[in-house]
Chains A and B, each alone.
Chain A
């Protein structure tokens, strides 16, 4: 047990950490509101907003009609008034009706009005697969939003980061898409779906201070230092990659990006120049995925340091297949094969 835990730092899973971030911010900022489908009295289908309505009242934590256009459009209007809305989209798979409000409105408002109006909203949404959610509860749409100018995209991989990043996102005066990897809400996942699930208790990053702290946006974390290959990943994949690397005994450097836009390019560049190899792992579909942008950036900046082609391990370019989830998921087998390939020369 670490010093912090001995000193009474609470242990939290990712849901509790996210809930704590909103609680802390609602306490500090009377303008912060949470809203979304089932988020009020019930506290959200994943319980992320549990207790907030009881504590802060119905005008600050409320249920909404089932219209993502409305949820985001109303949040933008509230933001224009001067509130700090944190709307929830129940599953990232449901975000598409709100695309126009996010892409053409929230992301463009500061620019088009020359700062007259801004959209300081943080859109929370559970994303990603590994829960047998089928094609409508498993998608990873981050690449759609990283392609849009004017919106930040943040993805945590631990309870500690989730709280600190969410607080930083809420305090940010620009719109932030905060994607929560729902497969690791309750515990880190090593990619072996057939092994018993673990909870967060044994993980050091489940020590989450009760009060206010920030994990700055735009800063990656080096999860594991190594010399053989740099692996760029985020969300659930951080844990799958870490576990696979340990099992294979590869001296990989694992970078958890944490924020996709703005990206911590310095951390990426330094690591790839050191290891000379770069592998990218994400759950999202491959073509035009965020991995393509990462590969382009790495070759632009580190081309003469590369000793092997950049390797991508991603979801396939198919809809998320329900019964074949574990063949689709970039798990230990697929990551392992890619590692062998990139390390062979």
Chain B
């Protein structure tokens, strides 16, 4: 390498570093948390460039006293609030049980959404039941809110003989067209342009349904994100683009996706898309923002990018150990609290809930999950023989099985027979 030129100051490379590492005390006092109710709520017909400040603030509805305040208060009735609370609690109970099932060796893999339940549950409730969701891998709350059978989710997780996906996909990569839930890929953000395409098709056909999609903070760096953004704005696609900023992409903090420089909601501004930044642990704020974006989409006002500012309380997956790269104190120090706790406090504050009912609901959710698990395990668990027949491996690659796959299928059957297995 040539020697540096002596008459110029040397350049230096900035490599982002999270504020806290294992052993450090987590302190989020520098995270700017605006008061609940302080963000204005534009009309859904307003032009996207007239409310840029909403990409830099936090839309919050629930205040510290558990009251719903400000222009974004969706004013849901108590039954809707209790349904929201229950779906979130059910999601958490499901996660707890399935995480444990993986640890017990009943399946290969699981991903919890602990701390992020509001992002999927409240958003789902704010959409129509036939709107189409293109989720990433941490929005199991969508299926649970829409009433998808727990047993079928577990059958998929166990890859057992009743798995709706015939054991072909990694656990939790659900697919259900009937419930408006697109097949989860596992490759990051590929669902973003697909959601935009679905929404464009819906608009081109004069349909009334809209699409929504979710990706993480880290995966906004993928080219698919930006391709989706340009398509969404160019054709004013009726789509809600959610970025779940849970601060961590496996071990890489959000700084590696650009969060040191700006917000993820601000990505919308350069594309001329409506951008909202929301307290993702405030179920009512998530609901209100989604409802606003859905109305905008349904009235041909185009897409909305919503950043859900939240925190990944647990590891990335069962294959991850977050104590190896971040401060163990982060989850409890997180300034936006727990989404279930906050919604519960609100229901209590308005006199529609109490600790006894909460405890009963938690027991009920745990029982429901346990019953479903028992039912699912009758169809087998991963690696214990009750899988799909081997020859089904070759089905469904194409609509019809071509000769070369038939030949490979026959070869496999013959080899296994010859080997006596």
Cβ-based interface call for A81 (8 A): yes
Cβ-based interface call for B198 (8 A): yes
Q: Which of A77, A85, A104 contacts B185 (CB 8 A)?
A: A104
Whether the pair B192, A114 counts as a contact (CB closer than 8 A) is no
Whether the pair A116, B224 counts as a contact (CB closer than 8 A) is no
Shortest C-beta distance, B18 to chain A (Å), equals 28
Q: Which of B194, B396, B398 contacts A80 (CB 8 A)?
A: B194
Cβ-based interface call for B403 (8 A): yes
Q: Which of A75, A116, A262 contacts B176 (CB 8 A)?
A: A116
Output the nearest chain B residue to A264 by Cβ-Cβ distance.
B403
Cβ-based interface call for B288 (8 A): no
Q: Which of A60, A78, A100, A218 contacts B197 (CB 8 A)?
A: A78
Q: Mark interface residues in A88-108 (1 if CB within 8 Å of B CB, else 0).
A: 000000000100110011000
Shortest C-beta distance, B312 to chain A (Å), equals 24
Which A residues are CB-close (under 8 A) to B200? Answer: 74, 77-78
Whether the pair A173, B193 counts as a contact (CB closer than 8 A) is no
Whether the pair B187, A149 counts as a contact (CB closer than 8 A) is no
Output the nearest chain A residue to B184 by Cβ-Cβ distance.
A112
Residue of A72, A74, A82, A263 with highest tally of chain B CB at under 10 A? A74
Given contacts A73-B193, A75-B197, A105-B194, contact A114 B399 (CB under 8 A): no
Q: Which of A75, A81, A117, A262 contacts B202 (CB 8 A)?
A: A81
Output the nearest chain B residue to A120 by Cβ-Cβ distance.
B399
Which residues of A, 148-202, contact B by the 8 Å Cβ criterion?
149-150, 152, 172-174
Shortest C-beta distance, A279 to chain B (Å), equals 22
Residue of B168, B169, B200 with highest tally of chain A CB at under 10 A? B200
Whether the pair A74, B396 counts as a contact (CB closer than 8 A) is no
Whether the pair B165, A74 counts as a contact (CB closer than 8 A) is no
Which A residues are CB-close (under 8 A) to B190? Answer: 73, 100-101, 104-105
Whether the pair B197, A73 counts as a contact (CB closer than 8 A) is yes
Chain B interface category by residue count: 35 or more
Query: How far is B165's CA from A83's CA once the two chains are assembled, in angstroms?
Result: 23
Output the nearest chain B residue to A72 by Cβ-Cβ distance.
B193
Which residues of A, 273-307, contact B by the 8 Å Cβ criterion?
none
Whether the pair B397, A83 counts as a contact (CB closer than 8 A) is no
Whether the pair B204, A60 counts as a contact (CB closer than 8 A) is yes
Which A residues are CB-close (under 8 A) to B398? Answer: 110, 150, 152, 174, 262
Cβ-based interface call for B265 (8 A): no
Whether the pair B230, A111 counts as a contact (CB closer than 8 A) is no
Query: How far is B202's CA from A72's CA once the two chains are assembled, in angstroms?
Result: 17
Cβ-based interface call for A69 (8 A): yes
Shortest C-beta distance, A310 to chain B (Å), equals 19
Cβ-based interface call for B384 (8 A): no
Q: Which of A65, A109, A115 contacts B230 (CB 8 A)?
A: A65
Which residues of A, 208-229, contact B by the 8 Å Cβ criterion?
218
Cβ-based interface call for B38 (8 A): no
Which A residues are CB-close (under 8 A) to B183? Answer: 109, 112-113, 116-117
Given contacts A33-B204, A67-B230, A114-B166, contact A73 B175 (CB under 8 A): no
Query: How far is B403's CA from A31's CA once the two chains are assembled, in angstroms?
Result: 30
Query: How far is B288's CA from A185's CA once the two chains are assembled, in angstroms?
Result: 55
Shortest C-beta distance, A123 to chain B (Å), equals 14
Cβ-based interface call for B305 (8 A): no
Residue of B205, B228, B398, B399 with highest tally of chain A CB at under 10 A? B398
Interface size on A, residues (CB 8 A): 47
Which A residues are CB-close (under 8 A) to B166? Answer: 114
Which B residues are CB-close (under 8 A) to A110? Answer: 396-399
Cβ-based interface call for B16 (8 A): no
Given contacts A74-B197, A75-B197, contact A265 B396 (CB under 8 A): no
Given contacts A100-B187, A112-B183, A263-B404, contact A59 B224 (CB under 8 A): no
Output the nearest chain B residue to A69 by Cβ-Cβ distance.
B227
Query: How far is B137's CA from A112's CA once the two chains are assembled, in angstroms?
Result: 14
Query: How far is B102's CA from A93's CA once the two chains are assembled, in angstroms?
Result: 44
Output the nearest chain A residue to B175 by Cβ-Cβ distance.
A113
Cβ-based interface call for B196 (8 A): yes
Whether the pair A78, B201 counts as a contact (CB closer than 8 A) is yes
Q: Mark interface residues in A28-55 (1 if CB within 8 Å of B CB, else 0).
A: 0000010000000000000000000000
Q: Which of B195, B199, B402 contacts A218 (CB 8 A)?
A: B402
Q: Which of A117, A149, A218 contacts B175 (CB 8 A)?
A: A117
Whether the pair A111, B168 counts as a contact (CB closer than 8 A) is yes
Query: How far is B185's CA from A272's CA once the two chains are assembled, in angstroms?
Result: 42
Which residues of A, 111-153, contact B by the 8 Å Cβ criterion?
111-118, 149-150, 152
Output the nearest chain B residue to A115 by Cβ-Cβ distance.
B396
Cβ-based interface call for A9 (8 A): no
Having A77-B196, A77-B198, A81-B198, one finds 20 other A-B pairs with CB under 8 Å, namely A65-B234, A67-B223, A73-B193, A73-B196, A73-B224, A77-B193, A77-B211, A97-B223, A101-B190, A104-B185, A104-B190, A105-B185, A105-B187, A110-B397, A112-B168, A113-B169, A114-B164, A150-B398, A174-B399, A265-B403
Listed in ascending order, the chain B residues whose CB lies under 8 Å from chain A are 132, 134, 164-166, 168-169, 173, 175-177, 182-183, 185, 187, 190, 192-202, 204-205, 211, 223-224, 226-228, 230-231, 234, 396-399, 402-404
A-B contact pairs, 5 of them (CB 8 A): A33-B204, A69-B227, A70-B231, A80-B194, A262-B403
Give 10 closest A-B pairs by Cβ, nearest first.
Answer: A77-B197, A73-B193, A70-B227, A74-B197, A81-B201, A77-B194, A262-B402, A113-B183, A113-B175, A77-B198
